[in-house]
C-alpha cells in the first residue's frame, strides 16, 4: 500500500516509517498539514496515519476537510490525546481507527491490515485463491499445504492484486503502491517481481495484458 504518514515527532515518525516500510508498504512522511494537503492532492493514497497536534494546526480539521471534500481514504489517528471525548471527536470526524501514544509498533501494523481489509470488502484475514491459502494478518501463504516465503516487496505487490481481484493494474499504479516519492525505481522492477511471484505461487497467479498491465489470475 501507499501510505501517507503525518507526524512531526522525528523519533516516533522514524520508528513508524521503518515499521510500515518493513511490512512492505511505501511511505511518504510529512510533518506539517500544509505538506499533507499537497501530498493528498497529488497522490492517491491507500491509507493516512494522522497525528492530531501538528506545528501548523490540528489534525481534526485536516480530517474534516478530507471527508467534506468526498475523500474516503482510510485514516488512522495516532495521538497522545487519550480522553474518551478526544476519541469520539476523532471517530465522528471520519477516522477509521484511533491509536493512543505510546503504542506498540506491531499493533500499528495489525490495525493497518485490519482497516485495509475492511476497505477491500473482505474483513476475513484468510483468503483462498487457486490452490493458495493466504493469511493476510500473519502475512503467510500455503501453496498446496506447503509454506511459501515472499519478500516484503513481493508480498506488497501480491496484496495489491488480492485487494482488487479482476481489476487491471498498470505498471505505474503498481510502482506507486511499492515506492515512496524519493525511491529510485528500475524500469523492469515490476516485471522482475511478477516473474518471482509466478515462480513461487504458480504460473497463472498473475495475468499479463500486454502493453496495459497485470491482473490477478482466475481462481
Place of cell 515490476: 190
All three cell numbers of 117: 481489509
| Domain of residue 95, residue span | 2-119
Listed residues 119, 149, 168: the one ending a domain: 119
CA dist., res. 106 & res. 6, Å (int): 19
pLDDT at 124: 67
pTM of the predicted protein model: 0.72
**111, 199: one domain:** no
Q: What mean pLDDT is reported for the chain?
A: 89
Instruction: Quote the CA–CA distance of 187 and 184 in Å, as a whole number.
Output: 10
Among 48-52, 85-89, 155-159, which is the least confidently predicted range?
A: 155-159
Q: Are residues 102 and 142 in the same domain?
A: no
Percent pLDDT > 90 in the chain is: 62
Number of domains in the chain: 2
C-alpha cell at 193: 517481481
81 and 163 belong to one structural domain: no
164 in the same domain as 107: no
Residues 172 and 94 in one domain: no
- Of 55, 57, 104, 56, the C-alpha closest to 78 is 104
Examine the domain organization and report whether 144 and 199 are in the same domain.
yes
Domain boundary among 65, 88, 119: 119
Amino acid at each position: 500500500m501507499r501510505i501517507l504518514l503525518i507526524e512531526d515527532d522525528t523519533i516516533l515518525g522514524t520508528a513508524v516509517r521503518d515499521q510500515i516500510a518493513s511490512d512492505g508498504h511505501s511511505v511518504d512522511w510529512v510533518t506539517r498539514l500544509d505538506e499533507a494537503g499537497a501530498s493528498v492532492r497529488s497522490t492517491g493514497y491507500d491509507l493516512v496515519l494522522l497525528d492530531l497536534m501538528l506545528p501548523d494546526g490540528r489534525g481534526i480539521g485536516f480530517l474534516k476537510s478530507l471527508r467534506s471534500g468526498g475523500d474516503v481514504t482510510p485514516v488512522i489517528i495516532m495521538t497522545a490525546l487519550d480522553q474518551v471525548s478526544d476519541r469520539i471527536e476523532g471517530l465522528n470526524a471520519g477516522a477509521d481507527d484511533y491509536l493512543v501514544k505510546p503504542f506498540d509498533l506491531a499493533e500499528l501494523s495489525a490495525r493497518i491490515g485490519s482497516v485495509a481489509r475492511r476497505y477491500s470488502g473482505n474483513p476475513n484475514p484468510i483468503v483462498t485463491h487457486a490452490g493458495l491459502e493466504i493469511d493476510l494478518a500473519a502475512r503467510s501463504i500455503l501453496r498446496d499445504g506447503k509454506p511459501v516465503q515472499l519478500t516484503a516487496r513481493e508480498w506488497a505487490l501480491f496484496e495489491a492484486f488480492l485487494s482488487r481481484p479482476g481489476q487491471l493494474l498498470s505498471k505505474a499504479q503498481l510502482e506507486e503502491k511499492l515506492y515512496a516519492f524519493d525511491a529510485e525505481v528500475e524500469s523492469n522492477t515490476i516485471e522482475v517481481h511478477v516473474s518471482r511471484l509466478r515462480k513461487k505461487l504458480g504460473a497463472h497467479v498473475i495475468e499479463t495484458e500486454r502493453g496495459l498491465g497485470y491482473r490477478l489470475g482466475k481462481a
